[in-house]
Amino acid sequence: MPRPLLVLLVLAAATALGLWWRARNGRYTAVAPEVARAAQHDDDTAPDEQGALLTPADLGVPLGGRATFLQLSSEVCAPCRRTHAVLEHLAATTPGVVHVDLDVVERLDLVHRFSVLRTPTVLVLDARGAVVGRASGAMDRRQAHAALQAAAPAHAGEDAAAGAHAVHDEQAGAPEPCPGGAAHR
């Protein structure tokens, strides 16, 4: 095989892999439908994807009335800082939403329990603490709002204005808020 053709094939394969990787970054994936249905019941023993609910004691903070974004991060992870800023802004501007950022080194129990393979991994919890979805890789505002809507739809315009601002900011190329250094973990 001629060397220039081999180089072109390697470049094409690398480009395809890079595009696939970028498309998967921050993409929200809901848990299995039967698990989500079980989580919607009023029964406090309804399972999440690992068979138990996460409690405020597990997280160290109260759960959000609508949703909780549990971010599992590492200290040297640049996408983790960006995701932290996005989710912190979402929690600050959306009623009933809480963001918790935990260091994977300090919470190996959760890393093993939820099969975390990369950071950041964001678990989306409903109001009772059931895991209803997850995303891995950096999230932008648009992806965070989409994950929130998929996991815990708003009541009649509850956060429509916040969602419109996020889409406008993304389209206008507004920079993400600065996380102000390393996140407190």
Q: Residue 175 pLDDT more than 90?
A: no
| Stronger pLDDT, 1 or 86, i.e. the higher one | 86
- Specify the pLDDT at position 20: 73
Lowest mean pLDDT of 23-32, 113-122, 126-135, 147-156, name the range: 23-32
Q: What is the pLDDT of residues 18-65, one digit of tens each?
A: 787 677 666 676 776 554 454 445 444 444 444 468 999 999 999 999
- Specify the pLDDT at position 33: 59
Lateral strand order in the sheet of 121-125: 28-30, 131-136, 121-125, 67-73, 97-103
Tokens of 101: 């950022």
Tokens of 51: 């068979």
Architecture of the domain delimited by 27-172: 3-Layer(aba) Sandwich (3.40)
Secondary structure (H, E, C), 64-127: CCCEEEEEEECCCCHHHHHHHHHHHHHHHHCCCEEEEEEECCCCHHHHHHCCCCCCCEEEEECC
- Specify the pLDDT at position 24: 67
Of all residues in the chain, the percent with pLDDT exceeding 70 is 66
Domain residue spans of the chain: 27-172
- DSSP lists the bridge partners of residue 30 as 133
Q: What are the φ/ψ torsions at residue 123 (nearest 5 degrees)?
A: -100, 130
Q: Residue 144 pLDDT more than 70?
A: yes
* Average pLDDT taken over every residue of the chain: 77
Q: Whole-prediction pTM value?
A: 0.67
- Model confidence at 10, pLDDT cuts 50, 70, 90, reads confident
